[in-house]
Amino acid sequence: MDSSRVMEYLVEVEVAAEDVLADKQQIIDLDGRRNRNREAMNALRNSDSHNDKVRVCFGNMFIKFPKENAESMIHQDQKQLDQEINEIRKHLKAKVNHLNDLQGKPEIRGYNLSPLSNDELKAVNSILKR
């Protein structure tokens, strides 16, 4: 191999590895936001205030919001974060497999497994009960 081809190969592997690491970091960041939302929902549920309005932080300012609206906003944000995390995870599997292919490593066994759907789980349970 000539040196230019080796350099291209190393750059390709490095770019693929950086892409995987960036996705993993994004999942960590989104999961942190999801945990903060979960804490906020618990704080709203456990608050003893008899007010219908709560203070919600948007960026660097607090705004009084009706409690129900704040809860629905947090719930919608949770759904969006879950979707984003699942989408990144789905693409991450392909990226990790591509990186392993570039490095000449075998495909990771069991990495492409997905959980059973509710219908599949019911079918398995009905077969096992016989």
Q: What pLDDT score was predicted for residue 1?
A: 63
CB 71 within 8 A of CB 44: yes
pLDDT band, residue 49 (cuts 50/70/90): low
Q: State pLDDT tens for residues 84-105.
A: 999 999 899 889 989 999 988 8
Q: What pLDDT score was predicted for residue 8?
A: 92
Q: What pLDDT score was predicted for residue 111?
A: 67
Instruction: Name the fold adopted by 3-129.
Output: Helix Hairpins (1.10.287)
Percent of all residues in the chain with a pLDDT value above 90, rounded to a whole number:
52
Which 8-state DSSP code applies to residue 55?
E
Helix or strand (DSSP H, E) at 16: helix 3-46
Beta strands in the chain, from DSSP E residues, in sequence order: 53-58, 61-66
Q: Is the pLDDT of residue 58 over 70?
A: yes
pLDDT band, residue 108 (cuts 50/70/90): confident
This prediction's pTM: 0.75
Q: What pLDDT score was predicted for residue 78?
A: 95
Q: What pLDDT score was predicted for residue 59?
A: 82
**Domain ranges (residues) in the chain:** 3-129
Q: State pLDDT tens for residues 67-86.
A: 888 899 999 999 999 999 99
CB-based contacts of 88, cutoff 8 Å, min separation 6: 23, 26, 27, 30
Relative orientation angle of helices 67-103 and 3-46, to the nearest 10 degrees: 160
Instruction: State the chain's mean pLDDT as an integer.
Output: 89
Q: What pLDDT score was predicted for residue 55?
A: 86
